[in-house]
Amino acid sequence: MSTSSTETAAQDAHERTIRIIVNGEQKEVPSETMTYDEVVKLAYPTPPGPDTVFTVTYRNAEQQKEGSLVQGQSVRVKEDGTIFNVKATSKS
């Protein structure tokens, strides 16, 4: 039994990973859309502390070329092109 070209394309898209840069390190992600929370977790797998606030900026994205993300927002990334900078600061 052969697989149709539509099924093969869907499998290829599902297995594809996208390379982005987070705080200067290359990361591979399975989705073209990255949320604020996903980017923060890539930058800080172990949060520095409970009172930490994160500032997320990006450039070379698919839709809006550059900007910032806040809790609840997402951005569509470009493969091998989107760069995120995540800065942690403590609440004062």
Query: Residue ranges of the alpha helices (H) in 1-92?
Result: 5-15, 36-43
pLDDT at 92: 62
Q: pLDDT of the chain along its 92 residues, tens only?
A: 444 454 544 445 456 789 999 999 999 999 999 999 999 999 999 988 888 999 999 999 997 889 999 999 999 998 878 999 999 998 76
Which pair of structure tokens corresponds to residue 23? Answer: 């705080």
CATH number of the domain bearing residue 53: 3.10.20
d(CA 39, CA 50): 18
* Of 56, 52, 53, nearest in space to 42 by CA: 56
Token pair for 17: 């990973």
Sheet architecture: strand order including 66-69: 25-29, 18-22, 83-90, 52-59, 66-69
Q: What is the pLDDT at residue 81? A: 85
pLDDT for position 15: 62
The C-alpha angle 81, 52, 34, rounded to 5 degrees, equals 25
User: Which residue segment(s) compose the domain that 80 sits in?
Assistant: 5-90
The total number of structural domains that make up the chain: 1
